[in-house]
Amino acid sequence: MSGTLAVPAGRLPPDAGASSGSLASRLLSDWQLVLPLGLFFLAFVFGPLALLGYVSLHTNVSLEEVTLAQYTKFLFDDFNLGVLGATLWLGLKVTVLTLLIGYPLAYLYSVARPFWQKLLILLIVLPLLTSAVVRTFAWLVILGRQGIVNETLLALGLLEMPAKLLYTPTAVVVALAQIELPLMVLPIITVLASIDPNLRQASQSLGAGSWRTFFQVILPLSAPGVLAGCLLVYASSVSAFVTQTLVGGGRQMFMPFYIYQQAIQANNYPFAAAIAMILLFSVLGIVVLVNLLARRVRVLSHG
């Protein structure tokens, strides 16, 4: 809380950082420190994405006339709209499922003893850092014709023939839920740790039972973590190319594979670019919308 708060946004005296005494301020100015990453992002993140948007406004790669043809082609076709709908719907289902089992896991972590906390956090972080291709491959082994699920059902006599479990919508949801679960659990763990434990005791000693304490005290206070987790899981699962493709198979088309197919297999770059733009702005739109709604709710609930 040194003088930095007083510095007006936008205009910065050249040695403004000196008050915070960081290396930054005196050897190099803040702008000089940010510049390399800033230039990199302009050249290799926002430049390419802008170019992609530009390409999507043309009929072919010679980039002659500007037209919305790719977008009308996408938006006036039931198949394309179906792919978009299936992708956004998939994201929602994965988000709900990860929240349903991820929240209790985060809650369990927050009330566990330190030893169990260490073990739990390892179980949560390990999958996050293990290759997604490997974790997706595991589902092919589990759900395959000779996989554990089919073999068990056959052995129990519940099935006569191996069932087709892979390449179904449910398989994609379950596999993706496993892949994205850590992204839901970690932000909720963080927010639960910041809740004053006295609040729970106060609520209970005032006569509220476990369920009421949970729904009226703990859950509302953990809303920011739930929100962060949901957005991360949603954004990540709608663009989870590997899992969608391997577990979903060729029958179910989702937006990421559609982009890949149109670009690499059909060589139709403008259309692929348009699909990418539509996916990008759908995700962006949903993230912004949910954030705005959350802010509205927060303002309302605080009077």
Partner 1 sequence: MADATYGSLKVEVQMRGESIASRVERWSFGSVIGLLSAAAIVLLVAPTLIVIIVSFTSGMSLRFPPPGYSLRWYEALFTNSPDLWRAAKLSFQVAALATAISTVLAVSAALAIARRPVLWARFLDSVFMSPLMLPTLALGLGLLVWFNLFGSGVSMTTLVIGHVAITSPYILRTTCASLSQLDGVLLESAKSLGAGPLFTFRTVTLPVIFPGIAAGAFIAFMMSFDNVAISLFLSDARSEVLPIRLWNIIESNLDVRAAAVSGVLIAVTTVLVILMERVFGVSRHVR
- The CB-of-53 to partner 1 minimum distance in angstroms stands at 9
Judged by CB under 8 A, does residue 227 bind partner 1?
A: no
Judged by CB under 8 A, does residue 158 bind partner 1?
A: no
Choose the binding region for partner 1 from 20-28, 67-75, 77-85, 289-297 (rule: CB under 8 A). 20-28
- The CB-of-298 to partner 1 minimum distance in angstroms stands at 18
* One of 13, 14, 15, 41 touching partner 1 (CB under 8 A): 41
Choose the binding region for partner 1 from 21-29, 71-79, 195-203, 289-297 (rule: CB under 8 A). 21-29
Choose the binding region for partner 1 from 69-77, 78-86, 240-248, 293-301 (rule: CB under 8 A). 240-248
Instruction: Measure Cα distances from 150 to 157, 191, 250, 284 in Å.
Output: 11, 40, 21, 39
Choose the binding region for partner 1 from 75-83, 195-203, 230-238, 289-297 (rule: CB under 8 A). 230-238
* One of 62, 79, 113, 146 touching partner 1 (CB under 8 A): 146
Choose the binding region for partner 1 from 43-51, 78-86, 195-203, 291-299 (rule: CB under 8 A). 43-51
133/120 Cα distance (integer angstroms)? 23
**Count of residues binding partner 1 (CB under 8 A)?**
109
For residues 59 and 69, the answer to whether their CB atoms sit within 8 Å is: yes
- The CB-of-303 to partner 1 minimum distance in angstroms stands at 26
Q: Which of residues 247-286 bind partner 1 (CB under 8 A)?
A: 255-256, 259-260, 263-264, 269, 272-273, 276-277, 279-280, 283-284
Judged by CB under 8 A, does residue 182 bind partner 1?
A: yes
- The CB-of-300 to partner 1 minimum distance in angstroms stands at 24
* One of 14, 38, 85, 197 touching partner 1 (CB under 8 A): 38
Q: Which of residues 116-145 bind partner 1 (CB under 8 A)?
A: 120-135, 137-142, 144
Judged by CB under 8 A, does residue 44 bind partner 1?
A: yes
Judged by CB under 8 A, does residue 178 bind partner 1?
A: yes
* One of 74, 84, 165, 187 touching partner 1 (CB under 8 A): 187
84/269 Cα distance (integer angstroms)? 18
Q: Which of residues 96-115 bind partner 1 (CB under 8 A)?
A: 100-105, 107-108
- The residue whose two tokens read 């991820």 is 102
- The CB-of-296 to partner 1 minimum distance in angstroms stands at 20
Token code pair at residue 13: 């005296």
Tell me, letter by letter, the H, E, C secondary structure of the chain. Answer: CCHHHHCCCCCCCCCHHHHCCCHHHHHCCHHHHHHHHHHHHHHHHHHHHHHHHHHCCCCCCCCCCCCCHHHHHHHCCHHHHHHHHHHHHHHHHHHHHHHHHHHHHHHHHHHCCHHHHHHHHHHHHHHHHCCHHHHHHHHHHHHCCCCHHHHHHHHCCCCCCCCCCCCCHHHHHHHHHHHHHHHHHHHHHHHHHCCCHHHHHHHHHCCCCHHHHHHHHHHHHCHHHHHHHHHHHHHHHHCCHHHHHHHHCCCCCCHHHHHHHHHHHCCCHHHHHHHHHHHHHHHHHHHHHHHHHHHHHHHHHCC
Choose the binding region for partner 1 from 45-53, 68-76, 195-203, 291-299 (rule: CB under 8 A). 45-53
Helix 269-301 with 223-238: angle, nearest 10 deg? 170
- The CB-of-130 to partner 1 minimum distance in angstroms stands at 5
